[in-house]
Structure 1
């Protein structure tokens, strides 16, 4: 199971119950990323219980992005040498400028300076609401890249979308077309039809997503947007997750000032009440 930190207790129980006797279960994942959207933190609890073999095999990504992400993982926000513009910090003063610079980065700066096309760049921001949340950013990015009336439940053919068939699971793709049967999507080569009654519940535009939606996926370029009102939402694991989605280039639209360094240095995720480590140790002793 890849990206095992995303397993909540219900999903993990389903995985274990589906295994035949004698099977081996191998869980892989980075313990530094955001926890599951559902209850529990199964992967972290298994590590803490120390009742099964553990193999640490993470090799940091090369280059300035890998250096930055590795430092964030241990609580340090460092300035990295970036001769090829692999990492760029773009200071902004207010939400309006943050939205403007985000669109500018994807439409012009990153393709021109880095050579990564717009469709291979992903925007990540802390939340859906607010002046620079996914709703506002997606509206601005749709207007720039695929303007249209949204005649199919707010969507048009060519729109980038985030499809969430169940809580905690998001797949990114594009709208192919829409008809009386619903919206027809291309999700990384897989064709999926979303019934009209399910569109509002399962679909959002996908030019901009949250870090929780981005976990488990990577892109050639990422624009991480940190507006001024996001300081309270930032944690080390959020920054580590968002920055770590970038393979070749990371732009940080920086509007939170020193709150970014403070979050990386000291703000850990809120604890979750869980008895799983104690239960696992007791089961192992029994």
Structure 2
């Protein structure tokens, strides 16, 4: 049994297994997704069909924060996570996830994580760049990211708490597999949800937007979504027109050939 949402952003690497299985039409399919209730559900459902609707949000479920440049985007993001969302929405910083388009750039994950660490958990990074209490993103295998918090370090490696579990990142895996995790890309965030999400869209993010990207990023929020918005009309265009490019894989024709009913 495979379960997933075909509208969510595909994997950043090769392949698109879930989409190919659906497209091959060689096995039973059951549509079981029920849209989330309230303004967030209405917004995300509209994005899925190419419409960026103006949604009434009387409980501040959705807040748009206009910014002029990347520096202001970083400043307002830190302000939202550290102060505005906890105070106005009641969601603490540790339950608020930042999502942005890429790792590089003046408002990518690296810049945002540096600013958020300085505000939320300043320290010298004495464990290979990390301190107890740091939020981290760990990739145990390529294409899968889990988020957690640094607990401690010992000669074996870095110890994390991820949900209810504790795990050890071996010393030789810390540098290639671990990153600070206050801010993630939408690819890293896909499949997880948080009570509050801050989506950061500085001006230079316009070229990286597509309908699946917006659907995925906005859909990570359960109770509250803040959009740090500096892309003008590019957001609406991405939702209306920005279908992700088709990928050519061998899986779909293989499935169609192998699993199709035999001729009588």
Identify the TM-score tier after normalising by the shorter chain: over 0.9
Counterpart selection for 2:162 from 169, 182, 187: 187
TM-score, structure 2 as length reference: 0.97
Match of 1:128 in 2: 103
Match of 1:176 in 2: 151
| Cα separation, 1, equivalents of 2:41 and 2:159 | 37
Match of 2:54 in 1: 79
Match of 1:3 in 2: none
1:180 Cα deviation after fit: 2.3
Q: Which runs of 5+ in 1 are unaligned?
A: 1-25
Structure 1 runs of 4+ with >3 Å offset: none
Q: 1:37–1:167: 8 Å Cα contact kept in structure 2?
A: no
| Cα separation, 1, equivalents of 2:28 and 2:244 | 26
Partner-residue secondary structure (3-state), 2:41: helix
Root-mean-square deviation (CA), in Å? 1.0
1:176-214 residue CA offsets vs partner (Å, 9 max, x unmatched): 011222211111121111122211101000000011111
| Cα separation, 1, equivalents of 2:250 and 2:119 | 49
Counterpart selection for 1:68 from 38, 43, 52: 43
Partner-residue secondary structure (3-state), 2:4: coil
Structure of greater relative contact order (alpha carbons < 8 Å, 6+ residues apart): 2
Q: 1:243–1:250: 8 Å Cα contact kept in structure 2?
A: yes
Match of 1:5 in 2: none
| Cα separation, 1, equivalents of 2:181 and 2:251 | 35
| Count of equivalent residues | 261
1:189-244 residue CA offsets vs partner (Å, 9 max, x unmatched): 21111122211101000000011111111000000001100000001000000000
Match of 2:15 in 1: 40
| Cα separation, 1, equivalents of 2:12 and 2:107 | 22
2:228 equivalent to 1:259:
no
1:60-114 residue CA offsets vs partner (Å, 9 max, x unmatched): 0001111100000000111100101000000000011000000111111111111
1:285 Cα deviation after fit: 3.5
